[in-house]
Structure 1
Amino acid sequence: MQTLVTPPFQKRAFFTLLLVVVLAVIFWTQSRYPALDEKAMMSGAIQLEDSLSFEAKYPILDSMPVWKKIGLSTLNWINTNKKGMTFGLLFGAAMLTFFGYLRQRSFKDGYLNSLLGLFIGAPLGVCVNCAAPIAKGLYAAGMRAETTLSAMVASPTLNAVVMTMLISLLPLYMVVTKVVLSLFVILIAVPLVCRMLPRAQLEVPPPVPATGWDLPDTAPQSEPLLAAFWGFVKAYAVNLWFILRTTVPLMLLAGFLGAVVGTLIPPETLEGVSFSVFIVVAVALVGLFLPVPIAFDVVLAGALLSAGLAPGYVMALLFTLGIFSIYSFFIVAGSISLRAALLMSGVIVVLGIGAGIGAQSYYNWQSKRALNILLSEDHSTPFSLIGMAHAQETTQGITLTATPFTPPSPAADTPFTRLEGWEIGLDKPIEFSFQDMWPPFWEGRSLSSGDVDGDGDTDLLIASTYEGLYLYDNDGAGQFTRRPLDLGALASAPVFNAALVDLDGDGWLDIFVTTYQRGNFLITNNTGDFSAAGITPVANREDAILSLALSFGDVDRDGDLDVALGNWAAGWYRRIPGEESRNRILLNEAGTLNGSRFTDLPGIPGETLSILFSDINGDGISDLLVGNDFEIPDYFYLGDGKGGFDAITYAQNIIPHTTTTTMAVKTADLANDGTPEIYLAQIAGRSSGVSSTLKMQPLEQYCDGIKRAEDKETCARNMTIKSWYKSGNNFDPTYAARCATLSGRDQRECKGMLVKDLAIQQNDPAVCDLIPADQSLAKAYCSAHFRPIRQPTQPEADAAIQQILRSNVLLEQNGAQGLRFEDTAQTRGLDVGGWSWDTKIADFDNDGAQDVYIVNGTWVPNEVSPSNLFFHNQGDGSFTESSGVFGLEDYLMTAAATAFDLDGDGDLDMVTHPVNGPLTVFRNNSQKGNAIAFRLEDRTGKNRFGIGAVVRITAQDGTTQSRELQLGGGFMSFDAPMAHFGLGSQTGISSASIRWPDGSESSLEALAAGATYTVSR
């Protein structure tokens, strides 16, 4: 150190270097890299809540005035950048102090100085805003301008984790362009810019403030340790104050100015705007101006590309956003010169404009080339998706029959044992290929449990777009056998939903089927048998595409079950549907349901993923909860008992907010107080602070745990395609050549899917006509995308309930204020659920408290796959994520699940339906905790299974529980109609009551645990 450090400051330099290392290690390990890793994990799922920030600590509502939006956006920007900025200030002062002690701080060659800046900046991992104070410190310490500027640019652009996100979210040509141009700026442009500056601005200036390195020749060669330490402290304090007073005011000003621009020119401004050189100039200027956090450029570019923004605009933003900013401009102008700041800005803007024009030109050329490749073969075999329907103890008249539980399943290391379906006879193979890599097909198919043959065991029905339906009979011991079905034309139909429900009131579970663009159907159960002769169409809207959500209930209290159709149109890449997605209630006429009697629900039509009949206000009448994906609001309707529904509005102040990307809606009495809570699940993963809850596995390991060889082979083939194929607006035209590397159906489907992607990217429905005739699904996706959308009106928007991002919502009634709900999800520990889909609320360990199980995952581009999450009810109102402890972890992307007692032992098991994975069974091995269960048989009308009834029990210790028999909610999942109660150590109940769907009440005396009681009236 003697040769590097000016005597006598060797010890001071050592202390300063130690501080530099400590600051860097703390920041990297406790903040920056954990945060970046989380952003990388959630990259495809990150939702930007503010024009300048990943997360909005202070939510910004559309109804707010502009001045308030700007103010809150500024506060959000400060909150987002506070850790990085604090590090930048502390680290900048440390660098100023350290380099002030060095004899030599630069090379003679400007290019070498820029290379030094690259090696200093790239590992730091701070945003361009946070790098500015560090650059200030470097320059004030005597570092050359080349080093200072290169370090400032390298830090936000060349971070390794950010590069991983870049590769994950964006086409290769954009990745290469950004990296090459960033290196060009750092290593070439910066030295050239510095050559245009006066020599005085490049020469090493005196340290500010002076550290004492201009010493007389007689200066001592060393100093005492304590004196050195005290000297280091004083120098650092002076330098820190210098950095603070010269950078913090400019930082706050930059944040405010950025908020002004971000608020007045939000990212969605360019949606639907065709490419123009004049506009790309404006885009580059705005990108250069905005002071965004690290990785924001990558995430925003990915989101805008998915939304359909022209690739040229995306590329211009990707390059100019985050490499420089108004804050960088202030710091460079104040530290070096205004000329330096203007030259740097000019270089970056010109390169950004060139990158945008070049990217758009390249995309146009590749698109034409891709079409030539994809259409080089003739496919003339016609096939159409269109053409089918659119649409024994007796008391109080009650008979009680007890069926004792079987002995418990064998004990195991965890409460649940994970099996693959084929191990218990559920031998359905993986049905997933290239054409399924598009919504809604990438979200799986439905599961429904129920006793179809009346033998007392719960059977399983699985929807299939390959076979129509799979029906498995349960032998009572938890082993299943597939039953052949005569489905006629439905055998080849793309079936999504298949619900077991008795619609004609004969006591046998029928099958209600929804298909993709081939209509809805009812398959009548003829005393346990199904045949093509029993299939009848059930009309929906003539323009309907798919009823992706279903719920059943007696909405007019006439004794039979009606159905709510949650209609869905196109999803991820369209977001705002047209009237074809308006939801509809079909009214049952004395056991006849054909769709001729219906009510279209008022409100804005949305992409409905979940719909549920449930009594949320305790009046005994079915209400209706509708969960819509994306920006279209959810709707809660209060029923009048006559088939009519009134929407709850924002002005009524009943519901504070709902989720935005709602995947599942459930109601349940989580607090055992007799009042149901409402739980809404969505994409609930923040870009920071989620590692303690979410569990992630690299996609490379996705197929590793699959046992059956043919399933693993199918899985691996699809994951290989997923590794390069990004669909819709994220599509890269260079994918076209990859189709030739595939074989069989994958090759044919690849060509059809890629032409569809080109049509969407080019916003040209005429390209849909070029899809080969045998690729009917791809053509259907394409035509659905270009249907007219229906924009919400202002009165509709004003009436809509507010939505929030990144958190699930638990609405709990506040009894002191009438019908008022408050969101307690975060308080209860139920706010973070990952990419949530179906949600099971039940007592899975028979301790008397209901737990929450959320199946998880998405085919949307991501580098990881999340586990399902199990939130164990602690009995005190809080929930703890315990999937590992309970044996319920599973990293296969899963959207549908059903919970039922498959072996009759008194505890609830589960079957899930993963995407690109085998059916999965979670067998409950519980050895402790008593339970009691109830089935209802209502012979007073045609709602024979008592859907909508509420069963309440009082245990021997006086505690109460309640269950509502529901058929709907969640996501494409239908559970057998049974009320299951865990009792813990209680050996029975002291009483029970039933509120039947027609409002009448029945009461039961004390009953012993250990049995399922069938209650008939």
Structure 2
Amino acid sequence: MLLIKDRRILISLLFLLIVSITFWNGSRYPSLNDKAVMGGDMTLEDPLGFEAAFTLESTFSLVQTIFYTTLNWVSTNQKGMFFGLLLAAGLMTLFSLVQRREFKGRMSNTLFGVFLGAPLGVCVNCAAPIAKALHTTGMRNETTLATMLSSPTLNVIVLSMLFTLFPFYIALTKIAFTLLLILIVVPLFVRYVLPEQSVTAFSGINTVDCHVSSRVSSKITSPPYLNISWFAATTWFVGTYFKQLRFIVVKTVPLMLLAGLLGATLITLVPWETVVTFLKPSGYFSLVAAMLGLAVFGVFLPVPIAFDLIIVATLTALGMPVKFAMILLFTLGIFSIYSFSIIWQTMGRKAALILYAIVVILGVSAGITAHLWETYTIQVKNQQAFSQIEELGQLKRILPNYNEGVSIDEIRTLTKGKELQWQPTKKVSLSEATSTNLEIYSRPFSKKQPQTLANKTPLFHQVNAAKAGLPPPSPLANYLKVNMLPYSQLGSVAAGDINNDGWPDILVTQNGYLSLYINIAGQRFSQQKIDHLGEDQSTLFNAALADLNNDGWLDIVTSTFKQGLKIHYSDQGNFTVDFERPLPTTTDFYASALAFGDVDRDGDLDIIQGSYSHGVNSISTSQSTNYLWLNNGGTDPVFKPIALPGIPGETLSTLLSDINQDGLLDLIIGNDFAVPDTVLLGRFDNNEFHFYLAEDLFPYTTLTTMSIDSADINNDLTFDLLWAQISGNSMSSGLVKLAPERSCERLIDEQDKQNCHNIQEMRQVSQLSGLVGESACLSLASPLDQGDCIAYSVYRKIYTPHTPLSKLQKCTELPSPWISMAETCESMQTGEFTKVETTNGKPKQKTQRNILYSLEPFSQSYKEIAKPTGLVTTGWTWNARFNDVNNDGWQDLYTVTGVNTQSFTSSNLLFENNATGQFIDKTEDYGLTYFSPTTASTFLDMDNDGDLDLIAVPISNNLLLYKNDLQSNRSKSRAIAFQIEDQLGNHSGIATKITIHYGKGLAQIKELKVGGGYLSFDAPIIWFGLGHHDRVQHIDIDWPDGSRTTLKRELFANTSYLIKRTAKMGAQAD
């Protein structure tokens, strides 16, 4: 009862409770929850931490790298360390009032330490000052050590992450050896290594270390002292606490900084990539040496809490064997050079060295245990699972038919009488005499009745796609479409007026199948059957629309797996086998990126093909060669392939745009993984067009480039350039992330929800099979999925760097229907691949951030502005395109994001350009929040009402159709649109640039592009928002052939214009 009545104790307990709750709720547990959600998909910004306050540049010297790594380490640990210091001082103050600070038995004292440490949730570095405090106040050594060792390892969230990220046997091994160290080794260590601890040495609490005066301590047990006022007790607490805090800071902070410096030095000299590369022992003694060296390395590093889980999950994915991974999983985080220094300071050098050695030995033992478990249990199960592959391969696959729909005759009946008609305007005035004529036609946007909507009504509302005539996809056909690249990321969309009725239609590939949807008067879509396509379209990977024979009808270009490109020429909106033309087969696996433009200025559209092979990040192969297909013209043109300059890489995006605005088309090739992006400038030499490498035009681009776009975002009439890639996987990204299960529940459609849950099951099995092998696949319910999973489990080893070719033998033995996997593995074994050397590659590559370049007007050099504009992070971004969605005269940005194999999802994003150089995330305000993975998107004015609607393609769910309500409730915002009909060049006027002049000195420029995004192709329409302006004063037209026309006449807002260029009577077109 004396303890309860002592107000100093109550104040000390209250302080500790407030500090702990503040830390747990404000930092530790939210941070751990974020780590748990992101799991093994988290990107580490720094080799010793999750976040980097200072970016480590490749140009840094060794000293600079060590210095900034140390600063990043301090930044990462500052919250936990601050809490550790506050808590340590508080515990010293509290226990100075408590006479009994031990239990009778060693095990009881050890368990008391676990009881103190496990809930704290601080890393081993932050627990060190707490251990120092406990030891100084006279707590038993068992309690001190158990608290320090249990805090970073036995926290409930850390344990849940352990079982989520790793197979059961690995998680169990880590826990078993952790408990062995804490519950068995610690008591024995204290008994046989440390000198007998004298309790009376601490009972006076008047030593120098405790900084409590003898005058105060003499009154501790005096009953009259218990009757002091709250003010006196508080005064005592404050004075004593700050003395203890000063003591603990002086004793531990210098050692903390030294530990950070030493850890930064070690990880700089021996980075994680080197650890993976050199762990290839060839004999028994070298194996033992490697395991001991790795254990010493792991024990040394002062890493933050849960870092061990994330880095080991990453290293395992890179091919680190289980025996080595288990060593790091145990040694990282449970002890460190900082803990070592604190033990040396408080318990002596001998104790520190022996405890370090014990953790090393246990780490090696854990590695051996996991290795034996894998060898004699897991590998046997894997072999048994693989033995079933022949039988599973014989199962019949029933594939869905996506080529449903109505005939062209029925489509013509549905659209008859609903066509949008062009009306001729008055005679136009050109700026100078030319050999060409311009004919201008117009049609007004449809007028909507203004609606009374709530002030916070989103700009967009989602329309039920199925009710709008866009049928939902069938359930996922198989496991591969969830987990295996490129099958898992398919879903293209192309917009354009296929039947020339004035309404934009869409062409979609989803789950590898092609569907054509005709817009019926802006009210709904109707699927048109494409007669020549067979029942099995599963080899279709990409599809685009372009008028390749200049007949005024959009043709379809498809990419097929190992069968090259095919052109399906339009027969006035119909597509039959008689009009199908396969292009000559090249060595590529499939064309992942397409772009169109008249590069050689001969009046017809040429094709840029970006190729993709196996998705292996460290190699280059002829199957990834990119091509320019030159069009020789005519109604049935022949295309000539020309290999493009640059290192072949896994291309995901190709942008044809006049980026330097010299009148000639340039090309940017966006590559995933190690191969740098390729920047090519176009020019004519001796009347022949060539692309030339421009390696120094941009100092750096993105590592995992997926989408590239050019647009004038600040209305200075020069093009800015955006590279979008994987970003936001780090703790500091600021993106809202959901666990996949939560994202499933957000879906409206029940079939979408079911698909989503099926995907999560497959994802989890895929992650497990990547760690333990084929045996994990047998947990899937469907035998078809089991077979796919087993095949992919052996095939995925090609993605693992440093995998010995002998490990691919199983893969080469895969039967049909996995013959393509077997061929890939066999080609790798025969040496048909070239390892990419990118040390001096240009441009340099940046990770985990987008790149946005703006042209400086005076220096004529590019300045990188992604961070100040707010576009540096957009998630796992597939497609990112600029459009003016609110018609205010400024280009906004919409991105689609996500991947099924990640342990978290983030939403598609809409960034509003606020006209001051800033892009503001308005996703929720605009009604576009959507957390399921989405690959492609296009904006189009579906209903001709003067605002841009949106169609996006989720990987596995219904198409997303969003109607823009701008004209329903914000009628002051106006727009103007332009279409081109060029009888002197390519018919659709692709690569035409239009500059509008309006208001008081205002101007905008846009370029007509087809390409640049990932599997996304916009309709050939140039769209300008005008804000409150009701007209354009004049326009400049820069034609694809390099000529310019100035149209000096007013053009009115809320109108779409068709500009037709023809030759004057008697004039010869070039």
Establish whether TM, by shorter chain, passes 0.5.
yes
What one-letter code is carried by the residue in structure 2 that aligns with 1:902? M
- TM-score normalized by structure 2? 0.88
- Partner Cα separation in structure 1 for residue 365 and residue 1019 of structure 2: 61
Task: Tell which deviates more after alignment, 374-383 or 174-183.
Answer: 374-383
Letter in 2 for 1:673: D
Code of the residue aligned with 2:879 in structure 1: it is: D
Q: Name the counterpart of 1:387.
A: none
Deviation at 1:737, TM superposition (A): 3.0
**1:312–1:356 CA contact under 8 A, matched in 2:** yes
Q: Which residue is equivalent to 1:444?
A: 490
- Secondary structure of the equivalent of 1:640? strand
Aligned counterparts of 2:816 and 2:641: Cα–Cα separation in 1: 37
How far did 1:757 drift? 4.5
In structure 2, what is the Cα distance between the partners aligned to 1:197 and 1:309?
35
Match in the other structure for 1:237? 242
Match for residue 326 of structure 1 among 327, 337, 341: 337
Say if 1:317 and 1:1015 are closer, same or farther in 2 by CA, change over 3 A. Answer: same
CA distance in 2, matches of 1:236, 1:707: 56
Change (3 A) 1:648 1:361: farther
| Equivalent runs, 1:681-700 vs 2, <5 Å | 681-685=724-728, 687-691=730-734, 694-700=735-741
Secondary structure at the counterpart of residue 522 of structure 2? coil
Give the CA deviation at 1:402: 0.9
Does residue 190 of structure 1 match 2:148?
no
Q: Provide the C-alpha distance between the structure 1 equivalents of 2:229 and 2:749, rounded to a whole number of angstroms.
A: 72
Closer, same or farther: CA 570–466 of 1 in aligned 2, 3 Å? closer
SS at structure 1 position matched to 2:571: coil
Distance in 2 between residues matched to 1:353 and 1:410, nearest whole Å: 73
> What's the CA shift for 1:706?
4.5
Aligned to 1:388: none
Conservation of the 8 A alpha-carbon contact between 2:392 and 2:783: no
Between 1:301-310 and 1:678-687, the stretch displaced more is 678-687
* Residue 896 (structure 1) aligned with residue 896 (structure 2): no
Q: In structure 2, what residue type is equivalent to 1:548?
A: S
Q: Of 963, 966, 970, which aligns to 1:923?
A: 963
Equivalent residue letter for 1:145:
N
- TM superposition shift of 1:419: 2.6
> 1:562 corresponds to which residue?
606
Is the partner of 1:378 in helix, strand or coil?
helix
- Is residue 2:387 matched to residue 1:375? yes
* Structure 1 partner of 2:505: 459
Matched to 2:965, the amino acid is N
What SS class does the counterpart of residue 530 from structure 1 fall into? coil
User: After superposition, where does 1:75-154 map in structure 2 within 5 Å?
Assistant: 75-154=71-150
Within the candidate set 921, 925, 930, 1:881 is matched to: 921
Q: Following TM superposition, by how much is the alpha carbon of 1:457 offset from its aligned partner in structure 2, in angstroms?
A: 1.3
- Does the 8 Å contact 1:549/1:566 carry over to 2? yes
Q: How does 1:894-973 map to 2 (within 5 A)?
A: 894-926=934-966, 927=968, 928=970, 929-941=973-985, 943-973=986-1016
Q: 1:748 aligns with which of 768, 771, 787?
A: 787
- The partner residue of 1:609 within 652, 673, 683 is 652
2:817 counterpart letter in structure 1: D
Q: Which residue of 1 aligns with 2:302?
A: 291
* Rg comparison, structure with higher value: 2
Q: SS of the residue aligned with 2:935?
A: strand
Code of the aligned partner of 2:738: Q
Letter matched to residue 230 of structure 1: T
Residue of structure 2 in register with 1:807 after alignment: 849
Q: Normalising by the residue count of structure 1, what TM-score does the alignment of the two structures yield?
A: 0.92
Q: Which residue of 2 aligns with 1:221?
A: 225
Q: State the alpha-carbon separation in 1 of the partners of residues 821 and 348 from structure 2.
A: 57
In 2, Cα distance between equivalents of 1:583 and 1:890: 34
Task: From the superposition, tell whether residues 167 and 899 of structure 1 become closer, same or farther in structure 2 (CA, over 3 Å).
Answer: farther
Q: Name whichever of 216-225 and 181-190 sits farther off.
A: 216-225
Q: Residue 724 of structure 1: which of 753, 756, 765 is its match?
A: 765
> Would you say the 8 A contact 1:895–1:971 is kept in 2?
yes
Does the CA contact (< 8 Å) of 2:152 and 2:305 recur in 1?
A: yes
Letter in 1 for 2:1030: T
1:15 paired with 2:11, answer yes
Deviations 1:648-685 (A, max 9, x none): 33xx4x43432222221111111122112111212221
1:426: Cα distance to partner? 1.0
For 1:167 and 1:408, the matched residues in 2 are separated by 56
After superposing the two structures, state which structure 1 stretch, 978-987 or 744-753, moved more: 744-753
| Separation of aligned partners in 2, 1:785 and 1:255 | 42
| Equivalent-residue separation in structure 2 for 1:668 and 1:306 (angstroms) | 38
CA offset digits 1:526-572 (Å, max 9, x no partner): 22121223222224642x2222122222222222222222222233x
1:701 aligned partner, one-letter code: R
Contact 1:371 1:755 in 2 (8 A): no
Structure-2 separation of matches of 1:760 and 1:568: 14
- Contact 2:510 / 2:953 at 8 angstroms: preserved in 1? no
Aligned to 1:403: 443
Amino acid at match of 1:627: G
**Structure 2 residue aligned with 1:3:** 3
Deviation at 1:783, TM superposition (A): 5.4
Partner of 2:874: 833
Residue identity over aligned pairs, in percent, reads: 36
For residues 330 and 450 of structure 2, the distance between their equivalents in structure 1, rounded to whole angstroms, comes to: 59
Give the whole-Å Cα distance in 2 for the aligned partners of 1:1013 and 1:94: 75
- Provide the rounded CA distance (Å) in 1 between the counterparts of 2:924 and 2:823: 41
Alpha-carbon spacing, 1:382–1:23, altered in 2? closer, same or farther (3 Å): closer
Give the distance between the partners of 2:237 and 2:180, measured in 1 at CA.
38
Deviations 1:332-352 (A, max 9, x none): 111122233233222321221
Instruction: List aligned pairs for 1:265-664, cutoff 5 A.
Output: 265-271=270-276, 273-274=279-280, 276-365=287-376, 366-376=378-388, 378=391, 392-393=424-425, 394-395=427-428, 396=430, 397-408=437-448, 413-430=457-474, 432=476, 433-436=478-481, 437-464=483-510, 467=513, 469-488=514-533, 491-539=536-584, 541-542=586-587, 544-571=588-615, 574-590=617-633, 596-602=640-646, 604-641=647-684, 642-649=688-695, 652=696, 654-664=697-707
Cα offset for 1:907?
A: 1.0
User: How many Å separate the matches in 1 of 2:890 and 2:1007?
Assistant: 15
- Contact kept? 1:274, 1:310, Cα under 8 Å: no
Contact (CA 8 Å) 2:950, 2:963: kept in 1 or not? Answer: yes
| Cα drift, residue 219 of structure 1 | 7.4
After superposition, the Cα gap between the structure-2 partners of 1:465 and 1:33, relative to the gap in structure 1 and judged at 3 Å, is: closer
Note the alpha carbon deviations across 1:502-543, whole angstroms, 9 max, x for none.
22222221112112333222222222121223222224642x
- Give the whole-Å Cα distance in 2 for the aligned partners of 1:51 and 1:167: 24
Task: Provide, for residues 180-199 of structure 1, a one-character-per-residue CA deviation record: whole Å limited to 9, x for no partner.
Answer: 32233222222222222334
Give the AA of the match of 1:125.
G
* 1:481 Cα deviation from its structure 2 partner: 0.9
Question: Retained in 1: the 8 A contact 2:880–2:896?
Answer: yes
Distance in 2 of aligned mates of 1:799 and 1:668: 27
Aligned-CA RMSD value: 2.7
Question: Contact 2:308/2:332 (CA < 8 Å) preserved in 1?
Answer: yes
Farther off after superposition, 210-219 or 516-525: 210-219
Counterpart of 1:30 in structure 2 is 26
Bigger shift: 71-80 or 893-902? 71-80
Residues 949 and 158 of structure 1: is their aligned pair in 2 closer, same or farther, counting only changes over 3 Å?
farther
What residue in structure 1 maps to residue 400 of structure 2?
none
1:385-428 deviation per Cα after TM superposition (whole angstroms, max 9, x unaligned)? xxxxxxx2343411111122123488563211113421211114
Contact 1:839 1:855 in 2 (8 A): yes
Distance 1:686 1:747, change over 3 A: closer
Distance 2:842 2:91 in 1: 53
Aligned to 1:226, what secondary structure does the other structure show? helix
Question: What are the ranges of 5 or more consecutive residues in structure 1 without an aligned counterpart?
Answer: 385-391
